[in-house]
Structure 1
Amino acid sequence: MTRNLLLGFLSWLIPFAVSFLFYKPGGELVVPYATFKSTIMVVGVISGCYLLIKYFKITEGDFIKNGIIVGLSWFAINIILDVVILIPIMKSTFTDYFISIGIAYFSIPAISIAMGYLLKVKSNIHANK
């Protein structure tokens, strides 16, 4: 459980930290917003997949169940941290934030469940040999 929470926190922290590279000290974005948003999304997917691989490396079964658990918990962690930290920085409403950023977090459980399914199928193939 602790590993799940730590990796979930990192799934939020890595893109958040990288995002600072795109802002001037005064808070002005140095690239167009669409470029920033796309880049941070790619950073999130790549780092998230890497962290999911780390998570599943020590998982010994119930891969789909674990994919659901890790996906939903990381989804919740990312939303909660955004509500506490990002929304106040953005001076945004939850609705505007969710439409612009939060909805993308549905990719976390989608990817984690897909990884869990793939691992289950692969383990069944190896078990039948």
Structure 2
Amino acid sequence: MHRHLRLLLYGILTWLIPFGLSLPFYGSDGALRIDIFAFKSIMIISGAAAGTLLIFLYLRSLPKETAWITAGMTIGITWLLINQALDLLMMVGLFGVEPWEWFAGIGSRYLIIPMMALLAGASAELASGRTK
């Protein structure tokens, strides 16, 4: 699979996996069936687990001569934009959440993606032995 397509598909998966996991926690009436804090914890943990695994798999698929820090920044920015766009579409577009309310409660949490990806890229750079 071409690396740009993989970058986009993995980015979509970083959003889709936690979204899919969230569905059983909602009743048919759309109401959350568990404590909100437990739900948020599950979402953060599942998102971080999916994100770190997919960052690892994506970086592992790149050639050895990759500029790893640049790759980490590319992953982070791309996946941040994908996740926020998909979440805005669902939460604001379909469920009518106010944009500021979405950003304060959900959207700002996606900023962890570029942090994790940049750190993974920097770690790969160190492991490559090309840094001092």
How far did 1:103 drift?
0.5
How far did 1:39 drift?
0.7
Q: Secondary structure at the match of 1:30?
A: coil
Instruction: Find the aligned partners of 1:2 and 1:86 in 2 and give their Cα distance.
Output: 26
Q: Residue by residue, what CA displacement relative to the aligned partner does 1:50-97 show, whole Å, maximum 9, x if unpaired? A: 111110011222110000001000000001111112223432111100
Match of 2:122 in 1: 117
Q: Which has the higher helix share?
A: 1
Instruction: Find the aligned partners of 2:23 and 2:118 in 1 and give their Cα distance.
Output: 30
Say which of 48, 52, 73 aligns to 1:49.
Answer: 52
What is the 5 A alignment of 1:20-59? Answer: 20-59=23-62
Note if 1:73 corresponds to 2:73. no
TM-score for the superposition, normalised by structure 2: 0.91
Gaps of 5+ in 2: none
Q: Give the length in aligned residue pairs.
A: 127
Instruction: Find the aligned partners of 2:37 and 2:62 in 1 and give their Cα distance.
Output: 37
Instruction: Find the aligned partners of 1:59 and 1:86 in 2 and give their Cα distance.
Output: 34
Match of 2:5 in 1: 2
How far did 1:110 drift?
0.2
Name segments (4+ residues, structure 1) moved above 4 Å. Answer: none
Instruction: Find the aligned partners of 1:113 and 1:90 in 2 and give their Cα distance.
Output: 32
Match of 2:96 in 1: 91
Instruction: Find the aligned partners of 2:75 and 2:81 in 1 and give their Cα distance.
Output: 10
Gaps of 5+ in 1: none
Instruction: Find the aligned partners of 1:88 and 1:25 in 2 and give their Cα distance.
Output: 20
Instruction: Find the aligned partners of 2:44 and 2:95 in 1 and give their Cα distance.
Output: 17
